[in-house]
Structure 1
Amino acid sequence: MTIELVDGKAGVAHISSEDKAIIHQAKFGKSDMVFDLGDVLKCTMGSANKATIGTGCASIQGLDWHITAAESVTISNGSQGMKRNDIICAHYHRDSKTGNENVSLTVLKGSPNATAAADPTIPAGKILSGAVDAYMPLWRIPLNGITVGTPVRLFTPRGALWDSVTQTLIKSQDGTVTGVKSGKIAQISINWKSASTDSWGSGQFGTIPEGWRPAVVTHGTWSGRDGGSQRDFILETNGNFRYANCGAVQNSGTFSGTMTYILA
């Protein structure tokens, strides 16, 4: 039988890491990813030889893993007059005899160079093609001589799955406000049917729900097709969302616009 209810009861052990990796890749994509959770695998240097990776949740080629308490890795000493880049990776390994799998942190050491540092080669390995080792780059640690520089993040945190889905935030007979967000960034779109024509007049869109409100009062602008209409969109930290006409008599017809801002 070529159909399997992966998450269903079958009376025997049947859910494999391969099943979960295939389905995860189909849902979220084939890229490695770090999710916006916990410390988001934040890297801090406790000393020239010790990097600490904070808590977080991630996926390597569709296989989920997480750090529940901070983990430390060792950075080898630099060399006087030489530059070097080391890469902290999540290392997936499958024991070829037992089939047991695990993920750990490892440091790939770069080659010292007197003029310019280059990242070390990340070993290629496709887990679903049978590779027993795979690597997910997380942080670059630059060294200049014996001095360790600021860690450089090599990933972009992903928000929750629902964050990437467009949601209706305000809906009325006059129009809609929809939004999409990723992590701490939101973008909202306004599609409205009519507006005040008064010079310096104003109107209300409604209230943006919690979880979508800005860290500071945010403004956006709209300019009409007639070349004479202009409105200021004002989104307040309490969610109140309104517009204000700027100048003389305004166009009363439909209008739209977008705003991007940092979430509270």
Structure 2
Amino acid sequence: MVELVTGHANKAHATAEQAAGLNAGILGLDDYVLNVHDKFELTVVSANKVTIGTGELVMQGRHVSQGTPEDLIVTNGSQGQKRNDLIVCRYTKGSQSVESAELVVVRGTPTMGTPTDPALNTTSPLDGGTTYDMALYRVPLDGITLGDPVPLFNVLRPMSDVWDSLSPLHLYTGSSVLRDAGSGGYATLWTFSQFRQQFGRNWDNDVCISAMNGDWAANGRQVTSVRAVPSDQRIDVMFDGRNPQPIRVNWAVMWRG
């Protein structure tokens, strides 16, 4: 049955599950640290204690906030053995469907050889999982020495950072019949003023212009490149040879924004 979530229903009806579904649909079906505060920065305090800084994360649509730094204890290592521990944010749904999140150190198995990461809970709460772990750091131990922590999370970039890639693409195509300039080897496609009149903007380095032969029987010449000549206020098409006969050139002009 369809239900209006963001609307007054004269009763409590908006659920955390619905909010998580909205977050996951907008941000993606994955786990992300958001690009604010300390981004859960880890500081090694001693051989068995680390501090996790402030941050915001979204795990499987669930928003988790850490407003103050938190200390975590890493179990001491053993001489002659290696171990990988994982620091995770653990989601739990308990009795009466009460949900919570906490930072947990998941201890790995000591070994004389190459250590492996401990197993985590990976069934998403979106799929009915009642315990889920989002890995934040791998903490390697070599004997009693705590090594450099390895971040395991992705930082989700805000929309403002990717706005340029979402800006509309302006694309214009056409063709022109050109003749070599007096010195040969090139022809002027537009002066800067002609470009502005035709496309409604000034030429600058944000504009991309490409050109190619529009007539393959082009008197033995090929278009090789496009160049701008700011000193003479013009945009030229370059050829690989000189010939006074006209040549048809197909061109494309594009920019974003």
TM-score (structure 2 length as normaliser): 0.68
Query: Alignment partner for residue 224 of structure 2, among 210, 224, 227?
Result: 227
Q: Using a 3 Å threshold, how does the CA distance of structure 1 residues 189 and 121 change in structure 2: closer, same or farther? A: farther
Instruction: Provide the rounded CA distance (Å) in 1 between the counterparts of 2:44 and 2:169.
Output: 41
Q: Using a 3 Å threshold, how does the CA distance of structure 1 residues 204 and 222 change in structure 2: closer, same or farther? A: closer
- Who is 2:58 aligned against? 59
1:36-87 superposed Cα distances (whole Å, 9 cap, x missing partner): 1111111111111111111111111111111111112111111111111111
What is the CA distance between 1:223 and its match in structure 2? 8.5
1:251 aligns with 2:237: yes
Q: Using a 3 Å threshold, how does the CA distance of structure 1 residues 254 and 62 change in structure 2: closer, same or farther? A: same
Please tell me whether the aligned partners of residues 51 and 73 of structure 1 are also in contact (alpha carbons under 8 angstroms): yes
Q: Using a 3 Å threshold, how does the CA distance of structure 1 residues 129 and 188 change in structure 2: closer, same or farther? A: closer
Q: Using a 3 Å threshold, how does the CA distance of structure 1 residues 5 and 106 change in structure 2: closer, same or farther? A: same
What is the CA distance between 1:126 and its match in structure 2? 2.6
Deviates more, 1:146-155 or 1:122-131: 122-131
What is the CA distance between 1:254 and its match in structure 2? 4.2
Give 4+ residue runs of structure 1 displaced > 4 Å after superposition. Answer: 187-197, 221-225, 228-231, 252-258
Q: Using a 3 Å threshold, how does the CA distance of structure 1 residues 75 and 188 change in structure 2: closer, same or farther? A: farther
Give the residue type in structure 1 aligned to 2:224: G
Give the residue type in structure 2 aligned to 1:55: T
Q: Could you say what secondary structure the match of 2:18 adopts? A: helix
Give the residue type in structure 2 aligned to 1:128: L
Q: How many correspondences in the alignment?
A: 208
Instruction: Provide the rounded CA distance (Å) in 1 between the counterparts of 2:64 and 2:55.
Output: 9
- Who is 1:44 aligned against? 43
Instruction: Provide the rounded CA distance (Å) in 1 between the counterparts of 2:65 and 2:165.
Output: 26
Pairwise CA RMSD: 3.5
Please tell me whether the aligned partners of residues 33 and 60 of structure 1 are also in contact (alpha carbons under 8 angstroms): yes
- Who is 1:99 aligned against? 97
Q: Larger % of helix: which?
A: 2
Q: Using a 3 Å threshold, how does the CA distance of structure 1 residues 222 and 115 change in structure 2: closer, same or farther? A: farther
Q: Could you say what secondary structure the match of 2:11 adopts? A: coil
Q: Could you say what secondary structure the match of 1:24 adopts? A: helix
- Who is 1:155 aligned against? 153
Instruction: Provide the rounded CA distance (Å) in 2 between the counterparts of 1:143 and 1:10.
Output: 54
Q: Using a 3 Å threshold, how does the CA distance of structure 1 residues 188 and 71 change in structure 2: closer, same or farther? A: farther
Please tell me whether the aligned partners of residues 209 and 252 of structure 2 are also in contact (alpha carbons under 8 angstroms): no
1:1-264 correspondence to structure 2 within 5 Å: 2-96=1-95, 98-164=96-162, 167=163, 179-180=164-165, 205=204, 226-229=223-226, 250-251=236-237, 254=252
Q: Could you say what secondary structure the match of 2:40 adopts? A: coil
Instruction: Provide the rounded CA distance (Å) in 2 between the counterparts of 1:83 and 1:147.
Output: 9
Please tell me whether the aligned partners of residues 143 and 149 of structure 1 are also in contact (alpha carbons under 8 angstroms): yes
What is the CA distance between 1:148 and its match in structure 2? 1.2
Q: Using a 3 Å threshold, how does the CA distance of structure 1 residues 157 and 189 change in structure 2: closer, same or farther? A: farther
1:125-168 superposed Cα distances (whole Å, 9 cap, x missing partner): 3313433211111111111111111111111201124544xx4x
Of all paired residues, the percent bearing the same amino acid is 30
Instruction: Provide the rounded CA distance (Å) in 2 between the counterparts of 1:115 and 1:222.
Output: 58
Q: Using a 3 Å threshold, how does the CA distance of structure 1 residues 56 and 190 change in structure 2: closer, same or farther? A: farther
Note the residue ranges of structure 1 that are not aligned, 5 or more in a row. Answer: 168-178, 182-186, 198-202, 209-220, 232-242, 259-264
Note the residue ranges of structure 2 that are not aligned, 5 or more in a row. Answer: 174-188, 193-201, 213-222, 239-250
Q: Using a 3 Å threshold, how does the CA distance of structure 1 residues 229 and 205 change in structure 2: closer, same or farther? A: closer
Instruction: Provide the rounded CA distance (Å) in 2 between the counterparts of 1:4 and 1:38.
Output: 35
Q: Using a 3 Å threshold, how does the CA distance of structure 1 residues 10 and 188 change in structure 2: closer, same or farther? A: closer
Q: Could you say what secondary structure the match of 1:3 adopts? A: coil
**The structure with more radius of gyration:** 2
Please tell me whether the aligned partners of residues 223 and 230 of structure 1 are also in contact (alpha carbons under 8 angstroms): no
What is the CA distance between 1:95 and its match in structure 2? 2.0
Instruction: Provide the rounded CA distance (Å) in 2 between the counterparts of 1:244 and 1:133.
Output: 64
